[in-house]
Chains A and B, each alone.
Chain A
Amino acid sequence: MRIAIASGKGGTGKTTVAVNLALALEDVQLLDCDVEEPNCNLFLGFELEPVEEVNCLVPEIDPDRCTLCRNCASFCKYNALVSLPKKILSFPSLCHGCGGCSLVCPAGAIEEKPEPIGVIKKAPCGSPLTFLCGTLNIGKAMATPVIRSLQNHIDESKPVIIDSPPGTACPVLEVMECADYCVLVTESTPFGFHDFLLALEAAKALNVPVGVVLNRDGLGDSRVEDFCRAEGIPVLLRIPDDRTIARLYSEGIPFVKEMPEWKKKFEHMFGTIKGLACKNTGVQ
């Protein structure tokens, strides 16, 4: 079973929920798919080992064969190729690796070379938690291939908890699409509610069942709860607005470690999710 932890926006406590849930359950896999800003390991502190380099195929032009017909440059939708009077200039950082330029080159002058765009890292064997994280190289815009490679490492025999990227763009949809259940983390404030609605819209578009974790509960108002009650969306857990939790967060300490009573609450939440996800998919 795959549980995606998502939110319409950064800074709502997505990583906190993902990390604490994983630590409370122990025998699970945790995937940090927020590849632009992978933060889970700040709370876990593993010595990560690289397991895979993620590449994107970028064109390399053989100047001897190139006839300067400009087909490739006019084809490229992302301006990754620019034609100069005497040569074709390529900008690999803009390339999406679609392979179109080599397809349209009449002279066979283009060869595709793998260019690293990110890396997949893993917690060392023997650690109690199976943890994998993907990091997009600075200056690269292609998060989706890194997320896809990360998902190839999923071990289906264990429950998988996925820390999703923030927002509602392609990378989040990539994660939500493959999830059996989506946990939306939010605060009950006007900002939180607004961002929650955006994330909910994305989950609905992909038909993933959702539940809510209210972070910093007690602060703000009841608009998220009222909405959830009206729409039949379960509120799975409430994390209070507690100074101790905020301080532990600021120091990078997952609060289940210092406040063991929370372990039970996360276990309970997991039980609820299992029930809800199974009901929805008809899986035992």
Chain B
Amino acid sequence: MRQLAIISGKGGCGKTTLTAAFSSLSENAALADCDVDASDLPLILKPQVINRENCPGLELASIDPNLCTGCSICREVCRFGAVLENFTINPYGCEGCAVCTVACPENAVSLVPRVSGQAVSSITRFGPMAHAKLDIGEEASGKLVNMVRKKAAELADQYCCKLILIDGPPGTGCPVMAAITGTDLVLVVSEPTVSGLHDLKRAVELTAHFKIPTVACINRYDINKKKSLEIEAFCREAGIPLLACLPYTDITTKAMVKEETVIEYAAHWMDSGAVEFANIVRKLWEEIEMRLSESFEKETCSRALKIRKS
């Protein structure tokens, strides 16, 4: 089974739009929406939920008011200011470190488990999908991302999918690392803005670190052609194949409002602009599919590694 992860240094680059489009092009790929902070893929793919599972988060302190004498020791030792004046716990502040439990002379504090979110398995019109819902105040953790990927892999087995499409989380932190480890190819979606190149570099550093073959594309390239050329030059130097330049268009939004992928939208609405855009996405997908076949792997991998030294 092959795995493709789609990432971008920051949010709002069009990652999810592309993932959705790829899912309708590839048909019968399993999907993993690893943007667990704000999972948007379900809004287009309208999944039928088949199963939900709670993801455990950090524990939470809890004070037994019958035992507490109000001595305030817990308030003094808690470095996160999570014990409130009335000796209850602020759930958004508590890190579950357990210091208060050992400091309390009355044994009035204990740690209780807490749920940080849910991992969901479902079926969509293009294949099975796993995604997550994070609770308010909870950190997007690598743990939850791993759960989503595990569920996606199980679904892929069950439904005989040969490919898993991973919609990655934004940023370059722990959830992104969890989303790309062990994948066969990473597509970085870039944008020609002041931070675009910077974000791309960080993302590429990460994939080089994990030795994952990497390709890139530029979204809204015609907003700032000068910046797009800079990105192109960087890709050439780093040995990252730049597979497509997508134009600035309202087609993606129109398709989103209709709850369709751009590919479906182009097929349904007789809009020549949409057909043109869908064709660019289709070409991009063909390039990616080719690279997902074994023979390409080694070449792109070794070239991507070069930038680590420079």
Contacts and interface: CB of A to CB of B under 8 A. Distances in A.
- A and B associate: yes
Interface stretch (A5-13, A47-55, A153-161): A5-13
Contact of B139 (A100, A169, A191): A169
B11 A250 contact: no
Contact of B11 (A10, A189, A201, A202): A10
A205 interface: yes
A195 B137 contact: no
A97 B40 contact: no
Nearest to A204: B136
A96 B96 CA distance: 10
B267 interface: no
B140 to A, nearest CB: 6
Main secondary structure of the interface of B (DSSP, over half): loop
A167 B250 contact: no
B140 A11 contact: no
Contact of B253 (A100, A169, A220, A243): A220
B134 to A, nearest CB: 7
A195 B40 CA distance: 8
Nearest to B224: A250
Interface string B118-152: 00000000000000001011111000000000000
Interface residues of B, number: 49
Interface in A93-135: 96-100, 103-104
Interface stretch (A36-44, A231-239, A274-282): A36-44
Interface stretch (B64-72, B188-196, B269-277, B288-296): B188-196
A241 B248 CA distance: 11
B6 interface: no
Interface stretch (B21-29, B97-105, B157-165, B232-240): B97-105
A98 B16 CA distance: 38
A250 B193 contact: yes
Given A191-B40, A247-B223, A10 B12 contact: yes
B38 A194 contact: yes
A99 B40 contact: no
A12 to B, nearest CB: 6
Which of B38, B79, B96, B99: most chain A Cβ within 10 A? B38
B92 interface: yes
A178 interface: no
A77 B94 CA distance: 13
Contact of B173 (A8, A141, A189, A190): A141
Which of B11, B16, B98: most chain A Cβ within 10 A? B11
A189 B102 CA distance: 50
A194 B161 CA distance: 29
Given A37-B171, A169-B37, A250-B193, A11 B253 contact: no
A96 B10 CA distance: 25
Contacts of A10: 10-12, 170-171
Given A219-B253, A251-B224, A36 B173 contact: yes
B194 A205 contact: no
Contacts of A92: none
A69 interface: no
B31 interface: no
A168 B95 contact: no
Interface residues of A, number: 49
B12 A12 contact: yes
Contacts of B140: 167, 169
Which of A9, A43, A144, A173: most chain B Cβ within 10 A? A9
Contacts of B257: 189-190, 220-221
A278 B137 CA distance: 27
B59 interface: yes
Contacts of B37: 9, 166-169
A11 B16 contact: no
A131 to B, nearest CB: 17
A243 B79 CA distance: 48
A177 B43 CA distance: 29
Contact of B138 (A43, A96, A169, A191): A169
B256 A191 contact: yes
B137 A170 contact: yes
A219 B250 contact: yes
Interface string B207-226: 00000000000001001100
Interface of A: 8-12, 36-37, 39, 42-43, 75, 77-78, 96-100, 103-104, 141, 144, 166-170, 173, 177, 189-191, 194-195, 198, 201-202, 205, 219-221, 241, 243, 246-247, 249-252
Given A9-B38, A36-B171, 4 more contacts: A77-B58, A99-B99, A141-B173, A190-B44
Interface of B: 10-13, 16, 37-38, 40, 43-44, 58-59, 77, 79-80, 92, 95-99, 102-103, 134, 136-140, 170-171, 173-174, 191-196, 220, 223-224, 227, 248, 250, 253, 256-257, 259
- Return the 10 tightest CB-CB contacts between A and B, nearest first: A11-B12, A10-B11, A252-B194, A98-B97, A11-B11, A250-B224, A250-B193, A100-B99, A9-B38, A167-B37
12 contacts: A10-B11, A37-B195, A77-B58, A104-B102, A141-B173, A167-B140, A190-B40, A195-B40, A205-B136, A220-B253, A250-B196, A252-B193
